[in-house]
Amino acid sequence: MNPNVWTFAAYDEGRLAGTVSLRLDSPEGVAADALYRAEIDAIRRDQHRVCEFTRLAVVRVEALAAGAGGPVPHGLPVRVACP
């Protein structure tokens, strides 16, 4: 278990409707460093805290209404500077 990753769940009428994980910057960095190291380091140098949202998954509305289906990964990593 990584203490720098927090996973949140959203529920709709008691059913899991979606999840998202928040990864805080650490000495190991964030996954986005693999592609955007220079840009993220510039944010760090400006004394901002870096985090990223990962593992976004939502249940399709139709599947939720039918009572079936599972999470549908959207693959939308978002990189933000946390104040």
Q: What is the per-residue pLDDT for 62? A: 59
Give yes or no for a contact between 50 and 40, defined as CB atoms under 8 angstroms apart.
yes
Total of domains in the chain: 1
pLDDT band at 24 (very low <50, low <70, confident <90, very high): very high
Give yes or no for a contact between 56 and 23, defined as CB atoms under 8 angstroms apart.
no
> HEC states along the chain?
CCCCEEEEEEEECCEEEEEEEEEECCCCCCCCHHHHHHHHHHHHHCCCEEEEEEEEEECCHHHHHHCCCCCEECCCCEEEEEC
Q: What is the per-residue pLDDT for 61? A: 60
pLDDT (average), residues 13-36: 91
Give yes or no for a contact between 56 and 82, defined as CB atoms under 8 angstroms apart.
no
Q: pTM higher than 0.85 for the full model? A: no
The three-point CA angle 55-56-60 to 5° equals 135
Q: What is the per-residue pLDDT for 56? A: 82
| pLDDT per position as a tens digit, 35-76 | 999 999 999 999 999 999 887 888 766 554 555 444 444 443
Range of the domain at 64: 5-82
